[in-house]
Structure formats: structure tokens, C-alpha cells
Chain A
């Protein structure tokens, strides 16, 4: 099953921001790199569509969670690289703990439902 996040952004609101922040923890990436990274790490389950990726990046910039810088890629092309800021790292922590709570809660509900 392929989760098309952009088609249903109301399915798990906020998770795209968290995924982007998470992929940026290791190294700064450009938009394509972020999309690729999420796709690979999720074994092609999660596809980030451009229609939601770039607005999300602007939103993160606006909040000051990431900062952008134009740099050269390894193939010598100009690209905008996004890097995590300290505020972004903090935000990622908040979102991850919220997400874990949510998953745990959903898990508890679902396992209870199976027993019933």
C-alpha cells in the first residue's frame, strides 16, 4: 500500500513537517534530496509530493525551524539546501514525542479492539 500523503494531508496532519525535520538531522539536503530520502527510508511507502513539500518547507522557514542556503550539488548544479536550526531540533523533539504518544495510544486502542 502506498500512502499518498499529499492527496490526504488531513490524514496525519503535521507528520510531513516532522519527517522533513528528521531527514535533515544528519545532513543539509535540497528539496529533491528530502523527497528522495523519505522515499528510500520508508522503502517507497511514503511519497512526498512536490505540492506539499515546497509549501511545507516555506512554513518551516517561516517558523525558523530550518534555514536555507544556495549551494552547489556534487553534480555542480545550484540548489537550495535546507539545514536544521537549533529551534528546529527542539521542535522535532516535541513532534516526535507527540507522535509516539499518538501511536502508542492508537496501538492500545487497536489491541484492545482485537481482544474484544
Chain B
């Protein structure tokens, strides 16, 4: 028949269980009295008839259960198990809250660290094809990476075939004239194609025009999103207005998108084209401009490095620069931005993993001790006819519930910790770590949470299940019994303590070393 209608009827019965039971009771009582009457009419005494009818009818509650099974959902046993587990917890809140707390802390810390690792090491930089972006700079044996000089930059740009575009940037400070006086602000002077190379387009207004980065080009400025919001109230009509920077008038031509950050420039608010140069900056040996380039398709990092190194050598010969052997340093921009924090993060990740392991071992031993205390309960239930599968089901349900609660709390702890950690990073350091904005509970960290939760659930479910010795019902019934199995499991418990101590020592040593190298 119609499965949907059947489902709906089951559902309606589920919500009116009382009525279902009372109707069934009434119906069966009626049946029994009728049988009684029949027997009396056949010549039995009322009392004998009563007992005979009861005998014929059998166990009333069993009958009721049989009828109920027809209309019940399979899930109802799960609900029963869940209810039983919750009842157990309320009777013994110390166990449940300790286990959940341990799990939540362990998970929270691991997920929080994972969030940082994910944001810093896994999520790409917020530029178009970030893996093709290179940090392009001069180099020699003594110092592996230092800025270009402007004349060198122009020659590299002209001579190289590895990069589809090559641009430079140079940090700069301005004095911004405001109604309340002059304020020092951070700016960045960039070559004209800088934003095109990154693949970033202004969210408002336009990018630099080609002429604007040549000497004597117009004084124009692009605002960072933050500057636009804080200093100009986020008004759309700022485009075309002028600002006074270092006593020169600059026309605002655009606003950069909110997601745009360029870590090496920190919090730069005013982005101006490189179109006027000091005397020093025109010199070939005044190294002040950091380069970025976008690799052409099919060009490898090594190939680009070989080519630009050759150009650097050629320029050195051509202009007779002495004192050092010039070469080129081509490394992925990504390395430059996250390079410093990678080892710290990986160490922390390892530490968090160990911490999680400790937490899990702790909770597992708690569960183990508890299942030891419940041997009698298991034995009695087994003796009353509970199948091993049913008992395992009960324990697995309890463990899943525990892991579920722990994971939920853990996710909350993680969310809180991530916010806290991100705020603990000093402001000026945070400006160099644009990825901090991406630290949050997202799909990646959510997946990590789910994976850890699953692992914890498996571990917690496996521990007591392995512990259950179903054949030893009689041993279990005898109070205070300590059989072979028990000794075996006591030994396992001791082993768990050893593992935990080992992990804790490793963790402590690691933390000590990390602390020493950080401070």
C-alpha cells in the first residue's frame, strides 16, 4: 500500500502513544471479559474462568508490545537508548561532564590551531592565480633577498621573458592634512601595473592609467577599504575629491576591495603610483624597490630564476658594479608572506594533535572504568535476554552521544579560541598576516571538527565494546568478581597511562623548546 500514508499513520501513533496504548488495553480487556463470560456460560466458576482467561491471554504487556512493534519505528529503540544514556548521565553527572569537558577542550584547541594552519598554509592568497605570483628581487651570496633599484627594475622588466608583468612597490609614509591637523599615515608607492599583476580591481573608481606612473604623471591615489571607511565615511562621492599628502594635492581615483590585503605593505592606506623619484632613487645602486612578477604560463620558478640571474649578471658587467656578485631571487609570493609562521604553526599543530590524543585517551579510560563498574548491569541484562548486539548498541549509543556533546562543545570552544588567539597577535604583526582574517569556523575547520568527532566517537565506542565479555555472564553476576579478562583489561589501563605519560612528556618538552625559541 501507500508507504507515505503508512509512514504518516506511524507518525501520528508516535505522537499519541498514550492513546494508542489505552485503546489497545481497553480492546484487550474487553476481549478477556468476553472469554470469561463464555467460560462461565460453559459451566466454570467465575474465579476459575478469570484465571483461565488470563492464562489463555498470556502476558498482557508482552501482547501490547507485540502490537506496538507493528506500528513502531525502528528508531524508537535508539530513542530508548538515548533516553537511558541521558538518565545514566544525570545519575552520574561527574562522569559525563568530565568526559565532555576533556573532549571539548582537546577538540577546541586542535580545531582552533587547525583553523590557523588552514588560513595561513592552505587557503590561497586573495589574488588571481596566486600560485603564479613571484616575489622578484636581487640576491647575492651574503643576503639571499633584497630590493631592486629602480633602474635595475626597468631593465629587468624590459629584458626578461619569464614574466608577463613585473612590478615594484616601496613603502612610504605621508602626512595627511586633516581639519584637526596633520596626521602621519602609511602609504605605498607602486608601479602602474601593480594591481593588474596581483589581479585586484578597485571596488570603486578605477585603477591607475598607464601615464600616471611615468615621471611627472598626475598625482592620483587609491584608498584602501579601511581608509575609505574610517577617513572618508565610506561615501561613494570621494572619487574625484582631493586629499593633501605631504603638502601635495592628490586626486582620489578609486577604492580597493575589502578583501584586498598585501601583507608586505602592512596597513598601507594610500596607494600612489611611482612617478616622482628622489636623487637616490634614480641611482642604480640604491636598492629600495621590492618586486613582484606574474610568471608566464609554462615558465617554471627555476627557469625564471635562471633567466633573471643572467640579466642581473649582464647588468652588473654592463654598469661595472663591484663589491658583490649580483644574482636574482625568485620565490613564490606565498612563501614570503607565510614563510615565517609556517614552522611555528606546524609545531603548534603537532602539539595540538598530541593534546587531542591525551584528551581522547583520558576519556577512553574514563569510559573503560565506567564500563567496569557496569559489569553487573551488563550481566543482568544479558541474563534477562538482551542480545550482545543490543548491549553493544546501547554502549555505542552512549559513546556517540558523549562524542556528539563533546564535539559540539568543542566546536564552540574552538570558535571562541580562534577569536581569542587572533586578538592575541599584536596589531603591527597582524598587519603582516592577512590570513588572520580567514581564521574562523568554515568548511575546512568544520570538516576537521567532524573528522575529529568521528575519530573520538569510534574510539569511545570501541573501548567499552571490546571490554564487554558476553560469555562471562555468570562471572559478571557474582559480586566483586575479578576474572582473567579483568586483569587483562587492568593491564591495558596501565598501558594507557604509560602512553599518556609519554605523550605528555613529549608535549611538555616541545612546548618548552618552542617557548625558548619564540622568546
Contact = CB atoms under 8 A, between A and B. Distances in A.
Interface size class of B (residues with CB under 8 A): 20 to 34
Contacts, number: 63
A77 B26 CA distance: 11
A50 B28 contact: yes
Given A63-B6, A64-B1, A87-B1, A30 B70 contact: no
B88 interface: no
Interface string B22-46: 0110111011001100000000000
A32 B71 CA distance: 21
B58 interface: yes
Interface string B45-79: 00000000000111000110011011100000000
A110 B5 CA distance: 42
B27 A51 contact: no
Given A54-B24, A62-B6, A32 B34 contact: yes
Interface size class of A (residues with CB under 8 A): 20 to 34
B467 interface: no
Contacts of B34: 32, 36
A94 to B, nearest CB: 11
Interface string B11-29: 0000000000001101110
Contacts of B214: none
Contact of B10 (A32, A62, A64, A80): A62
Binding site of A, secondary structure by majority: helix, strand, loop or mixed?
helix
Given A55-B66, A55-B70, A58-B71, A64 B2 contact: yes
A47 B28 CA distance: 16
Interface string B178-208: 0000000000000000000000000000000
Given A50-B57, A62-B6, A62-B9, A79 B27 contact: yes
Nearest to B72: A58
Interface of A: 30-32, 35-36, 49-52, 54-55, 57-59, 61-65, 77-80, 87
27 contacts: A30-B27, A30-B30, A31-B28, A31-B30, A32-B30, A32-B35, A35-B31, A50-B31, A50-B58, A50-B63, A51-B62, A51-B66, A54-B27, A54-B28, A55-B69, A55-B70, A59-B70, A61-B9, A62-B9, A62-B10, A64-B1, A64-B2, A64-B5, A64-B9, A79-B27, A80-B23, A80-B26
